[in-house]
Chains A and B, each alone.
Chain A
Amino acid sequence: MNGLTAHLEERRAGGRKLLVPYVMGGIPDRGSFPEAMVAAAEHADALEVGLPFSDPLMDGPVIADAGERAMASGTGPLDALELAAQAEVGAPKIAMTYYNPIHRIGEVEFCERAAAAGFAGLIVPDIPVEESESLRKAAGDHALAWIPLVAPTSSARRVADIVATATGFVYAVSTLGVTGARESLSERAARVVAACREATDAPVVVGIGVSNAAQAVEATRSADGVVIGSALVDLVLRSGSDAAREFLAGVRSALDTGG
């Protein structure tokens, strides 16, 4: 069993809801990014680190703008991997990256570098299960958990094919659309989670559109955990790492007490 999987399943078995915050590499700036990682990881069960990319087509304005800002100050996707190695964080790190940087330097080389930088898992939002076989193998060879995405539009057959590849958790896309805060969580979130449950025992974590403690609690009525992305990135940029830590402490507490 992959290290990340064992870690998450142990926590889940203890009745804990999983909190997976997302930080963008190089944000708020190169120097303060390690501090932002440490802050975000404090109450986390795993930490997702976004690698800045020129064409982030799954991302809404907050994360896309943060990525542009990171690149403008000299943090590209591979720089972000290396920056992430500079901080000792209290949770396993997962790299979230678009496929072309991986394709460009080579799947094996990329996985080597990610593992060397201390990553424990990989999320690639623009590679469907049909195209990911060799990358999944490379990830497995480097002890990187594979975290595939399931969408509200995925057929039952696709859900089964996708979750069969999961070695860390399944990322359930809560709603149609790109990353970003939403007023209410789609009812679809529960349906997507249910569809995943039919097909796997792996932890199911809901992402996209989860922006506060109340939504996290709502999502974890069915799911094992939540990813919080845009709301956190926005907070890190506007108010800094301490505010991010405080916000996540609130989410953690709400998850632990059920609201």
Chain B
Amino acid sequence: MNTRLIKPEGSVGVDGRFGEFGGRYVPESLMGALDELEREWETARADPGFTDELARLLKVVVGRPTPLYDATRFSERVEARVLLKREDLAHTGAHKINNTVGQALLAARMDKSRIIAETGAGQHGVAAATAAAYFGLPCVVYMGATDVERQHLNVVRMEMLGAEVVPVEAGSATLKDAINEALRDWVTNVESTHYIIGSVVGPHPYPELVASLQSVIGEEARTQVLELTGALPDEVVACVGGGSNAVGLFRAFYRDDSVRITGIEAAGEGLDKRHGASISAGEPGVLHGARTMVLQGADGRITEAHSISAGLDYPGVGPEHAWLATSGRASYQAVTDEEALVGFKALAETEGILAALEPSHALAHVLAHGGASETILVGLSGRGDKDMTTIARAGKG
């Protein structure tokens, strides 16, 4: 089992910076807990007892390694060889479980007796509830009231798994408000509780912790592509909301200069209208404890994001992506709701795979621009069952 939990050199300083991004902008009450988490994580990642157990869990609980899939009929439409990293085939149907299993193992090691999490579409909430159930820990999931309504199926799944789902009415009643509420809970219960954040966002050490736990995606994929084709891909593409599946896939390729790295943000209704493209159309700011690219007004108030896919409906982005964009190592493009539906449909028709709407953004980009590359590796971050109602409704509209 290939679980490299090593930091990519040069990207992360001792203070949790990704270039000018990252850091720790949180109430003083949380600083002690973040220091403790950082210490415990640095010890754990270097401890074979921890990494061996994590490797075992990734195999028997998550079902890793996930396959690399040669999308031959989809490739005909692109005029390039498209390879899909099938995170949709991981337990619970998305890459989120890689992170929650790792963090729950860490929480158990830290003797925490309670898990909290936030969720947007519910995929991370389901993955957190699953990991908490496996470790026998009580779990509270904060979810925007709007999302509770939109994603009812996942609410039921979380409750079946024993989690308590708390609807958050504040603000826009979506993911960003759920993160605020989870942070409020953590400020209050910091001594007993571990907060499993769902993406490469938040205060240090979370962006680095989550990226390391997700880097198994790219480690596997890089080896699998080399085995299958005998060469590295020309381009690696993944969708970016907070950006955990993308960082997880990208990290293995940072040092491969020949590989172009492309992140796809949600252009929503268009970049001049409502969208979720923090890098393409945002400015530097501080959100949820990190300095990164955010959608905001002239007075620093955070703007509501929009995307047809709940997982990309977020007004910020992980600081590692902000750094990748600024440094030029990766480029970021944005794909609209409408284009994402085209990507979804193309994969369903050619390969018989119902992708989630999030990676459908990456598929749409490849459909439109893939011809420039010979081999393209795409992160298929999750399956689309949760999106069927949305897609059916959009089809009628």
Q: Contact: A158 with B31, CB < 8 Å? A: yes
Instruction: Digitize A157-177: 1 where CB-to-B-CB distance is under 8 Å, 0 elsewhere.
Output: 010001000000000010011
Instruction: Digitize A54-97: 1 where CB-to-B-CB distance is under 8 Å, 0 elsewhere.
Output: 11111011001100100100001111000000000000000000
Task: Choose from A71, A100, A105, A151 the contact partner of B28 (Cβ within 8 Å).
Answer: A151
Instruction: Digitize B191-229: 1 where CB-to-A-CB distance is under 8 Å, 0 elsewhere.
Output: 100000000000000000000000000000000000000
Near A by CB (< 8 A), chain B positions 238-288 give 283-288
Assuming the A-B contacts A153-B32, A177-B188, A178-B187, are A105 and B287 also in contact, with contact meaning beta carbons closer than 8 angstroms in the complex? no
Nearest A residue (CB) for B181: A57
Q: Contact: A149 with B27, CB < 8 Å? A: yes
Task: Collect the chain B residues with CB atoms within 8 Å of residue A158's CB.
Answer: 28, 31-32
Assuming the A-B contacts A100-B302, A101-B300, A177-B187, are A126 and B32 also in contact, with contact meaning beta carbons closer than 8 angstroms in the complex? no
Assuming the A-B contacts A101-B301, A131-B24, A177-B187, are A151 and B29 also in contact, with contact meaning beta carbons closer than 8 angstroms in the complex? yes
Q: Contact: A55 with B31, CB < 8 Å? A: no
Nearest B residue (CB) for A104: B300
Q: Does B12 contact A (CB under 8 A)?
A: no
Q: Does B180 contact A (CB under 8 A)?
A: yes
Expressed in whole angstroms, the Cα–Cα distance for A79 and B301 within the complex equals 12
Assuming the A-B contacts A102-B300, A104-B300, A128-B31, are A54 and B25 also in contact, with contact meaning beta carbons closer than 8 angstroms in the complex? no
Residues of B that sit less than 8 Å from A by CB: 15, 23-33, 170-171, 176-177, 180, 183-184, 187-191, 283-289, 291, 294, 296-302
Task: Collect the chain A residues with CB atoms within 8 Å of residue B23's CB.
Answer: 131
Task: Collect the chain B residues with CB atoms within 8 Å of residue A130's CB.
Answer: 15, 24
Q: Contact: A55 with B27, CB < 8 Å? A: no
Known: A55-B176, A101-B299, A177-B184. 19 other contacts (CB 8 A): A57-B27, A57-B183, A57-B187, A60-B184, A71-B301, A76-B301, A100-B301, A102-B300, A103-B291, A103-B300, A104-B285, A125-B27, A125-B28, A128-B28, A131-B24, A151-B29, A154-B32, A155-B32, A162-B28
Expressed in whole angstroms, the Cα–Cα distance for A77 and B298 within the complex equals 11
Nearest A residue (CB) for B285: A100
Q: Contact: A100 with B26, CB < 8 Å? A: no
Q: Contact: A178 with B25, CB < 8 Å? A: no
Task: Tell me whether chain B's interface is mostly helix, strand or loop, or mixed.
Answer: mixed
Q: Contact: B26 with A126, CB < 8 Å? A: yes
Expressed in whole angstroms, the Cα–Cα distance for A103 and B292 within the complex equals 11
Q: Contact: A76 with B299, CB < 8 Å? A: yes
A-B contact pairs, 23 of them (CB 8 A): A55-B287, A56-B180, A57-B187, A71-B301, A76-B299, A77-B299, A78-B299, A100-B286, A103-B291, A103-B300, A104-B298, A104-B300, A105-B299, A127-B25, A128-B24, A128-B31, A131-B25, A151-B32, A153-B190, A153-B191, A176-B29, A177-B29, A177-B187
Task: Collect the chain B residues with CB atoms within 8 Å of residue A58's CB.
Answer: 27, 184, 187
Q: Does A99 contact B (CB under 8 A)?
A: yes
Q: Does A240 contact B (CB under 8 A)?
A: no
Number of interface residues of A (CB under 8 A): 43
Nearest A residue (CB) for B34: A128
Task: Collect the chain B residues with CB atoms within 8 Å of residue A177's CB.
Answer: 29, 184, 187-188
Task: Collect the chain B residues with CB atoms within 8 Å of residue A79's CB.
Answer: 299
The 6 residue pairs across chains A and B that have the minimum distance between CB atoms: A104-B300, A101-B300, A151-B29, A177-B188, A153-B32, A151-B28
Q: Does A33 contact B (CB under 8 A)?
A: no
Residues of A that sit less than 8 Å from B by CB: 53-58, 60-61, 64-65, 68, 71, 76-79, 99-105, 125-128, 130-131, 148-155, 158, 162, 173, 176-178
Q: Contact: A57 with B299, CB < 8 Å? A: no
Give the shortest distance, in Å, between A187 (CB) and chain B (any CB): 15
Q: Contact: A55 with B302, CB < 8 Å? A: yes
Task: Collect the chain B residues with CB atoms within 8 Å of residue A126's CB.
Answer: 25-27, 286, 289
Nearest B residue (CB) for A132: B25
Task: Choose from A103, A127, A176 the contact partner of B190 (Cβ within 8 Å).
Answer: A176
Task: Collect the chain A residues with CB atoms within 8 Å of residue B289's CB.
Answer: 126
Assuming the A-B contacts A54-B301, A103-B300, A105-B299, are A153 and B285 also in contact, with contact meaning beta carbons closer than 8 angstroms in the complex? no
Q: Which of A101, A104, A149 has the most CB of B within 10 A?
A: A104
Expressed in whole angstroms, the Cα–Cα distance for A125 and B183 within the complex equals 13
Q: Contact: A151 with B299, CB < 8 Å? A: no
Q: Which of A58, A71, A173 has the most CB of B within 10 A?
A: A58
Task: Collect the chain B residues with CB atoms within 8 Å of residue A178's CB.
Answer: 184, 187-188
Task: Collect the chain B residues with CB atoms within 8 Å of residue A154's CB.
Answer: 28, 31-32
Task: Choose from B15, B191, B296 the contact partner of A104 (Cβ within 8 Å).
Answer: B296
Task: Choose from B29, B30, B188, B300 the contact partner of A100 (Cβ within 8 Å).
Answer: B300
Task: Collect the chain B residues with CB atoms within 8 Å of residue A56's CB.
Answer: 180
Q: Contact: A64 with B24, CB < 8 Å? A: no
Expressed in whole angstroms, the Cα–Cα distance for A130 and B170 within the complex equals 30
Expressed in whole angstroms, the Cα–Cα distance for A76 and B183 within the complex equals 23
Task: Collect the chain B residues with CB atoms within 8 Å of residue A103's CB.
Answer: 284-286, 291, 300
Task: Collect the chain B residues with CB atoms within 8 Å of residue A102's CB.
Answer: 300
Expressed in whole angstroms, the Cα–Cα distance for A149 and B27 within the complex equals 8
Task: Choose from A65, A104, A125 the contact partner of B299 (Cβ within 8 Å).
Answer: A104
Expressed in whole angstroms, the Cα–Cα distance for A226 and B185 within the complex equals 24
